[in-house]
Amino acid sequence: MKRTAVLVLAVLFVAALCGAAAAADTLADAKKKGVFVCGVKDSTPGFGYIDEKSRDIVGYDVDFCQAIAKKMGVKLELKSVTSASRIPQLIAGNIDMIAATMTKTADRAKQIDFSVTYFFTGQKFITRKGEVKKLQDLAGKRIGTAKGSTSEQNVKKALPTSTVLSFDDYPQAFLALQQGKVAAVTTDESILANILAKAPDKTKYEIPNIQISDEPYGLGMRKGDTNLVAFVNKTVLEMEKRGEAKKIFDKWFGPKGMAYHMARTFKITDKKESWEK
C-alpha cells in the first residue's frame, strides 16, 4: 500500500514538473535575467559560422537572433548546435530559441513551436562539374549530408537506391566529396552556395538545377511558449516591413550571391504553411 502511494506521489510530482515546464514563460525569464540564449550553427557558411578574424559566430541566423534580443532589451548569448542536437537542446532548456537553418515540418511541430517563415530555399546537390544532369544520375551512388536534417530524410525518399552518408555538418560532407568518398552533397541551396563560394577548388564543382524539396525555415521555441512565439513573430514581421530583414538577406546572400535567385522574391509574412492550416 505504501509503495503504491509513493508511486502515485512520484507520478504527480513528475506531472507537476511537466506542467510547470509547459507553462514556462521564456520571454519573461529572459527579460528578468537580461540574457536571451540562441542556439545557432557554427559551421554553416552564410547562416552561422566562426569568423576567421574575430573568432565570433556570425551569419544570417545570428543577425536575426541579435535583432530579437535587441528588441527584447537583453544581451544575446550564442550556443553552438547541430542539426541533430538543436531540438533536444531546446527541450532540455539549454537554449531559449533555435536559429539554425531549421525547416518547418509537421513532425517537428509536434515537438516544438515555430515562428513565421524567415527564410525560404530548396534542397539541391553539389556535384563534380559535368557529372550530373538529372536526378537519376545519382541513383545508386553515395550521397553526403548532415545527421538529423530534413535533407537526410528527403534524399532517402528521392533516391531510395542510393547510400546516404550522414556527417556532423555540411563542410565535412563536402570534404568527403572532395576526397571522392561521395558522388554529391545535398542540403538547401543557400547552404550549398555558401560552401562552394568558400571552396578553393570551387571551379571543379557545381550545383545542378535539380531540386527535390522546398525548405521554409522557422525559428524554433518550446511547445506552448506562446508569449515568446508572439514576440518573435511580431519582431520578425516588423523587420520585414522596415526593410531590416532584406538588408540582412542581402548582406549574406545577394544580390550577387549564388543563392540569391532562389529566395529573392521571398517576403516574410504571417502566411501559414499547408500543414499548419
Q: Does domain 122-214 have CATH number 3.40.190.10?
A: yes
Q: Provide the grid cell at 167.
A: 556527417
Q: For 155-171, write each residue's pLDDT tens digit.
A: 999 999 999 999 999 99
User: Within a 10 A sphere around the Cβ of 164, how many other Cβ atoms?
Assistant: 16
Of 124, 127, 105, 120, the residue nearest 212 (C-alpha): 124
> SS3 of 76, please?
strand
Are 29-118+218-262 and 122-214 the same fold in CATH?
yes
Q: Does domain 29-118+218-262 have CATH number 3.40.190.10?
A: yes
Report the distance separating Cα 253 and Cα 59, nearest Å: 10
Instruction: List C-alpha distances in Å: 252 to 17, 59, 182, 209.
Output: 42, 7, 28, 22
Grid cell 578553393 is found at 200
> In the chain, where are the structural domains located?
29-118+218-262, 122-214
Residues 6+ apart with CB under 8 A from 120: 214, 215, 216, 217, 262, 263, 266
What pLDDT score does 271 carry? 76
Q: Are 40 and 78 in contact (CB under 8 A)?
A: yes
The stretches in the chain having pLDDT less than 50 are 1-22, 257-264
